[in-house]
């Protein structure tokens, strides 16, 4: 698979530990904001042309402080937001495994302002 698109978001998703302790509407609002950002940046980077499926996505997150973080606590919301953005923007027909796979999430070693880099791969 070749990397076809890379987008940089000026934020990181909230951890599921934070989101689960809040009301479902707060969780939904956070997810919608990430989804909106992904859609805006994808339109800027690649337009509205459909993607070849299955689309695979990797993520790299950077935080301003160095401490232990559990990748799965961040990948759940990010995976859902990205999949929904791809479907909503009509880049893929559905966010099920034949069309979309969120593969990996890693953390940058360097500290700095919050940032999420998403790497999209098409066959």
Domains with residue ranges and CATH for the chain: 2-122 (3.30.1330.70)
- How many residues in the chain? 123
66 in helix, strand or coil? coil
Tens-digit pLDDT profile for the chain (123 aa)? 787 899 999 999 988 776 667 777 878 888 999 999 999 999 999 999 999 999 999 999 999 998 889 899 899 999 999 999 999 999 999 999 999 999 999 999 899 999 999 999 999
Q: What is the DSSP letter of 38?
A: H
Global pTM value: 0.91
Q: Which residues lie below 8 Å from residue 123, measured CB to CB, with a gap of 6+?
A: 1, 52, 53, 54
Using CA atoms, how far apart are residues 105 and 112, in angstroms rounded to an integer? Answer: 17
> What stretches of 12-117 show up as alpha helix (H) in DSSP?
16-20, 24-46, 71-88
Using CA atoms, how far apart are residues 31 and 84, in angstroms rounded to an integer? Answer: 10
Torsions phi, psi for 45 (to 5 deg): -85, -35
Using CA atoms, how far apart are residues 123 and 55, in angstroms rounded to an integer? Answer: 7
Residues β-bridged to residue 58 = 104, 119
């Amino acid at each position: 698979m070749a990397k076809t698109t890379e987008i940089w978001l000026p934020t990181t998703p909230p951890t599921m530990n934070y989101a689960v302790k809040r009301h479902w509407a707060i969780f939904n609002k956070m997810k919608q904001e990430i989804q909106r950002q992904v859609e805006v940046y994808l339109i800027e980077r690649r337009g509205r042309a459909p993607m070849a499926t299955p689309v695979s996505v990797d993520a790299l997150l950077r935080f301003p402080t160095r401490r232990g973080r559990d990748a799965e606590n961040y990948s759940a919301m990010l995976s859902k937001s990205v999949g929904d953005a791809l479907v909503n923007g009509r880049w893929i027909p559905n966010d099920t495994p034949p069309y979309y796979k969120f593969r990996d999430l890693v953390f940058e070693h360097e500290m700095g302002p919050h940032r999420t880099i998403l790497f999209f791969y098409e066959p």
